[in-house]
Amino acid sequence: MSDLQLRIDRASGGLAGQVAAELRTAIRAGRLAGGARLPASRDLARDLGTSRGVVVEAYEQLVAEGFLVSRQGSGTRVADLQAAAPGDHAALESLASPTVAYDLRVGTPDLSAFPRRAWLAAVRQVMKAAPHEALGYGDPGGVPELRAELAAYLRRVRAAEVAAGQLVVVGGVAQGLSLVIGALAQAGPIPLAVEDPHSVRTFALLEAAGAVRMPVPVDDEGIVVEELRRTPARAVMVTPAHQYPTGVVLSPRRRAELLAWAAEVDGMVLEDDYDAEFRYDRDPVGCLQALCPQRVVLLGSVSKSLAPGLRLGWLVAPSPLAEVIRTARATSDLGSPVIDQYALAQLIASGAYDRQLRQLRRRYRARRDALAGALARWLPGAVVHGVPAGIQLYVELPPGHDEAAVVEAAAERGVAVEGVAPLRIAAGGPPALVLGFARLPEHRIAEAIRLLAGATTMTGPGRRRPAPHA
Ligand SMILES: Cc1ncc(COP(=O)(O)O)c(C=O)c1O
């Protein structure tokens, strides 16, 4: 079809790939507009002098990528990409990325498990019972009903020490961290010790809030306090319940050392309790805050238990700091949405929140077991950490593997995984993957790991892949 101006080189092979690439370029350049009908595969094949199978394959590839849509009876058309702003190459590139058949990326819980019915019932109850005045600007530190429910919940489940006035409702751990750092950095940037490696999601926000990150290594007992002592930091951020990403639980000895350090330097410990609800083999390990409420700020959220999109969380801080943070919200955004806060309070008070957690623990335990079993079978040389808790496993690949190449080769097989190198700051370490198991049902996990194992075989010692071409 000459008006499409598809140029292919019949001598160089990979014809379907060439046709797909040419069509992609035409769509991106706007030569083929959204809704435009493509020629029947037979006709285009004739024009290009190829077999029909080549064109069918190219069309199928572009349908999978979202560039084309194919409907019985109405042929193949260019997808309506108006959602992507003109020139929005990032959006188009993401459409071109290989399809993710097995998603083992971390950070997001099973969103299909959101208790829609219970949430709806809670909102209905709020709408029935709340007086009109309740819908005005709430307390910037959180509506009293939710603060009371959360305080009781944290005392009961995390053994936290929470007195009135210490708990502030925030928009997730992320906002809580920004607010705490902002409060601590009022006189200028503060040196903040962080676990190395730690969550890439917090890298930029910590620095934007006024922290200068100082990496401190993590070993099989958690953060190495001896190394922490060598930094000028007077604040440290840790994930004691389940270190992110290595999965280590901070040992009792290190807990004591960390608090002794905080007392010596007159410092603060920021306890990111991001996934503490999920402990499978025994009761949750109590929070660090309970041991020293005057030097620890506890931060948590419903991002793993309900949904990150709610942007609802809490922090528990010594009263003077909590008051500074409450004021910071009063002078910035006037607090979190009140209807969601009342609904969460209602969900906790009714027992539905606890029920949700029990169900999730059962679901995630089964997925964790399936993943650990599949790793033992398909990747027997890997060392798996972090099994007793959380919604991800830390998997050290056998020495000699190229972590980035494994991630790339897995993606080519439709398996999305994350490596650990991007989470490291100063410390090196063996090639490793963090595998999130929250979103993949048990029956699909074995196949995902079989494919991942194939990717490691292709990229293992002595099979390093060439650098990607320009
Ligand atoms: C270790 C860790 N801390 C904090 C966060 C941010 O959580 P939130 O959604 O509560 O802001 C994440 C998000 O994935 C995380 O992995």
d(CA 103, CA 444): 10
Long-range contacts (CB closer than 8 Å, 24 or more residues apart) made by 442-445? 442/366, 442/367, 442/369, 442/370, 444/102, 445/367, 445/370, 445/371, 445/374
d(CA 341, CA 199): 27
Name the band, by pLDDT with cuts 50, 70 and 90, for residue 16: confident
Looking at the predicted structure, is the pLDDT value of residue 86 above 50? no
pLDDT per residue over 54-72, tens digit each? 999 888 878 877 788 888 7
Whether 115 is in the pocket of ligand 1, judged by its Cβ within 6 Å, is no
Looking at the predicted structure, is the pLDDT value of residue 1 above 50? no
In degrees and rounded to multiples of 5, residue 394 shows phi and psi of -105, 120
| The model's pTM | 0.79
The predicted model gives 356-372 an average pLDDT of 97
Looking at the predicted structure, is the pLDDT value of residue 455 above 90? yes
pLDDT of residue 2: 45
Looking at the predicted structure, is the pLDDT value of residue 90 above 60? no
Strands 235-238 and 190-196: parallel
The predicted model gives 396-421 an average pLDDT of 94
pLDDT of residue 452: 96
Of 115, 170, 181, nearest to 357 (Cα)? 115
- What is the CA(209)–ligand 1 centre distance, in A? 16
44 token code pair: 């285009």
In degrees and rounded to multiples of 5, residue 234 shows phi and psi of -125, 10
d(CA 407, CA 411): 6
- What is the CA(40)–ligand 1 centre distance, in A? 48
Name the band, by pLDDT with cuts 50, 70 and 90, for residue 220: very high
pLDDT of residue 312: 98
Q: Which of 199, 277, 301 to mutate to test the pocket of ligand 1 (most atoms within 8 A of CB)?
A: 199
d(CA 303, CA 310): 7
Looking at the predicted structure, is the pLDDT value of residue 118 above 90? yes
User: Which residue's CA lies nearest to atom 14 of ligand 1?
Assistant: 107
pLDDT of residue 109: 96
User: Which residue's CA lies nearest to atom 13 of ligand 1?
Assistant: 107
Locate the ligand 1 atom nearest the alpha carbon of residue 301 and give its number.
10
Locate the ligand 1 atom nearest the alpha carbon of residue 176 and give its number.
11
Residue type for position 318 = P
Locate the ligand 1 atom nearest the alpha carbon of residue 313 and give its number.
10
Least confident of 163-167, 272-276, 284-288, 388-392: 284-288
What angle is formed at CA 171 by the lines to CA 165 and CA 175, rounded to 5 degrees?
90
Strands 211-219 and 190-196: parallel
Residues in the chain: 470
- What is the CA(275)–ligand 1 centre distance, in A? 9
Name the band, by pLDDT with cuts 50, 70 and 90, for residue 468: very low
The predicted model gives 424-446 an average pLDDT of 93
pLDDT of residue 291: 95
List the beta bridge partners of residue 214.
193
The predicted model gives 189-194 an average pLDDT of 97
d(CA 273, CA 349): 21
pLDDT higher at 47 or 374: 374
- What is the CA(174)–ligand 1 centre distance, in A? 6
Whether 107 is in the pocket of ligand 1, judged by its Cβ within 6 Å, is yes
The predicted model gives 264-274 an average pLDDT of 97
The predicted model gives 328-342 an average pLDDT of 97
The predicted model gives 354-367 an average pLDDT of 97
Name the band, by pLDDT with cuts 50, 70 and 90, for residue 367: very high
pLDDT of residue 106: 95
pLDDT of residue 212: 97
pLDDT of residue 458: 72
Which residues, in sequence order, are CB contacts of 281 under 8 Å at separation 6+? 388
pLDDT of residue 81: 65
Whether 109 is in the pocket of ligand 1, judged by its Cβ within 6 Å, is no
pLDDT higher at 415 or 1: 415
Whether 240 is in the pocket of ligand 1, judged by its Cβ within 6 Å, is no
Q: Which of 243, 303, 394, 420 to mutate to test the pocket of ligand 1 (most atoms within 8 A of CB)?
A: 303
Name the band, by pLDDT with cuts 50, 70 and 90, for residue 74: confident
Of 439, 438, 407, nearest to 421 (Cα)? 407
The predicted model gives 400-407 an average pLDDT of 94
Least confident of 18-32, 124-138, 180-194, 213-227: 18-32
Locate the ligand 1 atom nearest the alpha carbon of residue 244 and give its number.
1
- What is the CA(195)–ligand 1 centre distance, in A? 14
List the beta bridge partners of residue 77.
37, 69
Instruction: Please provide the average confidence, as pLDDT, over all residues in the chain.
Output: 91
Cα-based torsion angle of the residue sequence 450, 454, 459, 462 in order, rounded to the nearest 10 degrees: 110
Whether 293 is in the pocket of ligand 1, judged by its Cβ within 6 Å, is no
d(CA 39, CA 74): 11
Looking at the predicted structure, is the pLDDT value of residue 201 above 70? yes
pLDDT of residue 469: 43
For the chain, what percent of residues have pLDDT higher than 70?
93
- Find how far residue 435's CA is from the centre of its chain: 11
Whether 173 is in the pocket of ligand 1, judged by its Cβ within 6 Å, is yes
pLDDT of residue 83: 52
H-state helical runs in 350-439: 352-378, 403-412
pLDDT of residue 281: 79
Least confident of 27-31, 103-107, 347-351: 27-31
387 touches 370 (CB < 8 A): no
- What is the CA(302)–ligand 1 centre distance, in A? 10
- What is the CA(231)–ligand 1 centre distance, in A? 25
